[in-house]
Amino acid sequence: MSSISQNSRNCINLKYQFILNIISITLMKSIIVLLVMLSLSVKAQKKDSLMIANDQYANDAARLSMVNNQIDNQAGGFFHGTIQPFDTRYQGLKGTYYLNPMWLEGDLYGNAGKLVASRVSIKYDALNKEVIQRNTEKDTIAVYPSAFTLYDQLGSYHFVHREGFTTTSGKTIPNTYLQVLFLNKIGFYKNFTKSLLAADYKRPYSDNRPYDSFEEKTEYFLARENGQMEQIKLNQRSLLQSLQDQKKALEIYIKTYQLDLKREADVVSLLTYYESLGVKQ
């Protein structure tokens, strides 16, 4: 009986030992799996970090290249490969290509001087030689009348279209609209031109002009009955050279009435007197 009891206890102990071994093996497997997973996670994080670092480096390199290119372009290559502060001096575009930026009332004329539109809202584009007509607040069109008149608070200004012509000195004037200052046997005309002047502030010894602008110039012409157009300047020497057949009489007239021939009105006065003396064409 004692022998049987001892055998039973031995079997139970073996059973418990077997169970403990199974638990120990299972626990070791779990620990190994956990360690493997941790190892893989660390490697993945390192790989992701490396990829992010590589991407960041590529982005930084591209950004640095772009900055250098911008600086190089702004400095004309003078600062190639070095980082310099951005040039913030540029101030945009100043001025307008219109003779007057305001919408003014005007009349439009067709062939043979026929009035085709009266007191419409227009501007004269002195750069492109176009008349811009406004029909509504947002609806504008370019028109090409044979002549037009502008009105403002000071008076009226009449313009006529002229095909390209060559002056007596050989200068070619492209198609344009000429303002009529005086018209009888002699015509006295004014031409407005506008051109875009680019900013100039980057070069050494530049004009230090940090903006684009429209440059306006005026030219004056005398027209004879034979159609010849002579370019003149508004001064006594130029005018008397053009009207030299009455030079002595005109000199007396200028002195008597103290004409300032830089003023268009005084030039008109001189031309009116000149025609009263008899014009040689």
Note the pLDDT tens digit of each residue in 114-146: 999 999 999 999 999 999 999 887 899 999 999
Under 8 Å between Cβ of 165 and 171: no
Q: How confident is the model at residue 86 (pLDDT cuts 50, 70, 90)?
A: very low
φ and ψ at 84, to 5 degrees? -125, 155
| Cβ neighbours around 44 below 10 Å, total | 10
Residue with the larger pLDDT of the pair 4 and 96: 96
Residue 112 carries which side chain, given as an amino acid letter? A
What was the pLDDT predicted at 129? 94
Please give the average per-residue pLDDT across 238-246, as a whole number: 95
Least confident of 9-13, 27-31, 205-209, 216-220: 9-13
User: In the structure encoding, which two tokens stand for residue 263, read together?
Assistant: 């003023």
* CB of 231 closer than 8 Å to CB of 219: yes
pLDDT in tens, 209-236: 667 778 889 999 999 888 899 999 999 9
In this predicted model, what pLDDT tens digit does every residue of 147-163 receive, in sequence order?
999 999 999 999 999 99
CA distance 65 to 78: 16
Element housing 65 (H / E): helix 2-74
Contacts of 162-168 with C-beta under 8 Å, sequence gap 24+, read 165/229, 166/229, 167/221, 167/229, 167/230, 167/231, 168/228, 168/229, 168/230, 168/231
